[in-house]
Structure 1
């Protein structure tokens, strides 16, 4: 019998508690065994969540198509899904996992408003941006207390010069440092990454026979209007992807170099916690040089 999402979530809580106890007891054999079980249950949870969302897509009433076959870009309030039409058990999915879903889709550090918009566009349930204000601090406290007990943490993007938290930007801990450190060109490069992630998700939904929501098209339109060559007479995800890649290529080499240098400084000069959540005080390259020269 297939376990329900609620059963799997309860198993995850129990296994994480066991893992924490085993780590504190320095029982490496038990730690390895529990980690293996934890990965299996996490995989089962993801599969169960995907299955539930697939059922919701099949039962969801698609919006009325516009003249081009796509939903209107400026829907009236009555055409938006009502709260009752969304997952009735949305409270069962923690905010951190909703944020993880949206960030994984976007593919780069993002602000709470964009994370909320992406979640509304592609996932069931609502994600209020205001709820994300304390999430990073909660994740940092959890990491400092339990170490790597969770498969991922919602962490901070880091400034390239001081390696402090980039204000208002969230990232995923399993991303490489080069992806989480922001140089002068990174905001634009990440914007283009967000656009590509959004367009590709719309393509996947369309290919699978699940009409993207009005909110999804609205989000893509916001990106397309700010990318040269991405928007013509209609909104085409493939055109957005091509235009975003074309512009990104202009900035990519310089941005990659700046991020790489900053990431190396973070690896050599910060603790595990600081590499995820940022240094409390500015940690500059000049200070590293001064310390080395003493």
Structure 2
């Protein structure tokens, strides 16, 4: 088990891959949204297990202080736990955790246990854990269900602000996307909406199929010479994606559902196939409950920010 921190590897913007004209936050990460932390636990037992869990933790979230939230399913071939109550009430009661498909149920149970031990939860009798997943079975023994309670607790307890570890860590350890090794990625934008500067941050667990597009160019493993002579590689037309969106803009659940839709739409820009076997989901939440929501007519900059960040 490894708890992961950010590394100094070049990021896309450092290499000239700049998406859109909006300015990122200081870390270009979901943690640029005040009160949002991220923790990873990476689970490796070579040669068979390469998996993990990632926690997106809003400071204020809890069953007594739920945050407004929305969810959107672009293609519902997945096991996003907690969806129905999230849709019905538009309220997020727990951190959002991401992991491997067959480990999702153990992760949800561990999340409930962690929450019940939190201050203020002593009398809680109902709780809706939100856990998303991607199938990392191409690179990991998914049937081993290697993510356990101690891994979940480590990710939650180590969640921190600041720079976020990306790539082959946490829930992204065994994922592949668009025919390439993928992982966890994050970005942020700082649009002006409703007369004030806002922050929108995203974290993506990338595991979806299609053909990669970068700055208008189509790229395949074969075109880059990274597939062996036998052509072995991840299947490019299958897979899933989990997207978590956070914002400090005062939005209600209906508006956050609209934001979540744009997050899934953004995958098309990268060449996503939205195939039959793909679970393409987004969960969006606001860190500032209450207050007057941004007017619908002023949402366009937030929509654009989400599209670019994803």
- Compute the TM-score of the two structures, normalised by the length of structure 1: 0.25
Q: Which has the higher contact order (CA 8 A, sep 6+)?
A: 2
Structure with the largest fraction of strand: 2
- Compute the TM-score of the two structures, normalised by the length of structure 2: 0.24
Q: Which has the larger radius of gyration?
A: 1
Structure with the largest fraction of helix: 1
